[in-house]
Amino acid sequence: GFYVGTAVAGGGHHLEQDYPDPFTSDRKYRKILGQQFNSVSPENQMKWEFLHPERDRYDFEAADAIVEFAQRHKQVVRGHTLLWHSQNPEWLEEGDFSKEELRAILHDHITTVVGRYAGKIQQWDVANEIFDEQGNLRTEENIWIRELGPGIIADAFRWAHQADPKAKLFFNDYGVEDVNAKSDAYHELTRELLAQGVPVHGFSAQAHLSMRYGFPSSLEENLRRFDELGLETAITELDVRMDLPESGKPTRAQLEQQADWYQRTLSACLAVADCNSFTIWGFTDKYSWVPVFFEGEGSATVMTEDFVRKPAFHALRSTL
Ligand code: XIL
């Protein structure tokens, strides 16, 4: 009943355009993916820009391939994501739609996508990163909230639930590991939505951690307060990045601290009753998004670029 997952790299994403897709072309990668995990999350392939490249066209090829792979390997899938401010197609962000049209577009997308994979997705990140660091809704950045108002969030959950009544529906964000302004905002919002009978089932912390800052030491306490609302909780995108020395290779001390952080994150989840899903954001540095997005930082996953297991890999294994 406990799920250990990874993001599945591929389908374009932060790697160069013509970079061979790891999921389809790297045999070693696929082998480890099939063997070491019982949950998978498409890193990009279920985002709007991949699934919905034109207003009247969906492209399910890459997402279907991951779902089929997961079924063949008896893995569950976390769907990611339906309502987000980022990685939306240009036709949507730049389009000139009325409110009624936008509402219909979101309804159609959720119904089509969630419906297609109904019964095959364990958890959906319905709403991703809707609050900023201060705990304010991203009213400017998020096209849905900006154009349709915050009520659209509840609608997204209702539509997803209609399309797949068995899938667990989540709020997902980064920077919400600790008890802080941002996680407070989620706590408040989910309490309200639950009181209104909106089908919200889970709250998850991405956990993109950096050794530049401290470990989020109230993680367990934070997950627990959501658990107490009756929600499931999850860790969905764990990686632990660090500043790399000149040599480009982490020191032993860095790797040990990293292992400790991986282990503590897993332990926090294991300690909370309904935290049943723990996902790392890729398992090899070969395809990690970290060096591309965070200058000077890297080595954030549990295996080197050559798939050599780091102390973090062993720390997770010995904790499970
Ligand atoms: C990242 C992917 O890892 C990259 O490949 C992509 O270029 C950008 O997005 N929060 C999320 C994820 O919810 O979807 C992001 O994934 C990382 C931060």
ipTM of the complex model: 0.99
Q: Tell me, what's the pLDDT at 17?
A: 59
| Structural domain harbouring 256 | 3-319
The atom of ligand 1 lying closest to the CA of 174 is 10
Helix (H) and strand (E) counts in the chain: 13, 10
Q: Note if the pTM is more than 0.95.
A: yes
How much is the pLDDT for 16?
61
Q: Is 188 exposed, middle or buried (0-12, 13-18, 19+ CB in 10 A)?
A: exposed
- Give percent above pLDDT 70 in the chain: 97
For the ranges 3-17, 176-190, 224-238, which has the lowest average pLDDT?
Answer: 3-17
Residue 106's pLDDT is what? 98
Strand, helix or coil at 152? helix
Span 257-279, mean pLDDT?
Answer: 98
Nearest by Cα to 320 from 266, 283, 255, 280: 266
Is residue 293 pLDDT above 80, yes or no? Answer: yes
End-to-end, the C-alpha distance of the chain in Å comes to 12
Q: What percent of the chain has pLDDT over 90?
A: 95
Tokens (6 digits) for 104: 């219909």
Q: What is the pLDDT of residue 113?
A: 99
Is 61 an active-site residue?
no
Q: Residue 34: which pLDDT band, with cuts at 50, 70 and 90?
A: very high
pLDDT at 274 over 70: yes
Residue labelled with tokens 């820009």? 49
pLDDT in tens, 121-159: 999 999 999 999 999 999 999 999 999 999 999 999 999
Beta strands at 297-298 and 275-280: parallel, antiparallel or unpaired: unpaired
> Which CATH number characterizes residue 273's domain?
3.20.20.80
Which residues, judged by CB distance below 6 Å to any ligand atom, belong to the binding site of ligand 1?
Answer: 13-14, 43-44, 128, 174, 206, 237, 289
Between the alpha carbon of residue 112 and those of residues 57, 168, 230, the distances in Å are: 11, 17, 29
Residue located nearest, by CA, to atom 13 of ligand 1: 128
Domain count, the chain: 1
Residue 13 predicted with pLDDT over 80 = no
Query: Is 237 designated active site?
Result: yes
**276, containing H or E segment:** strand 275-280
pLDDT at 20: 73
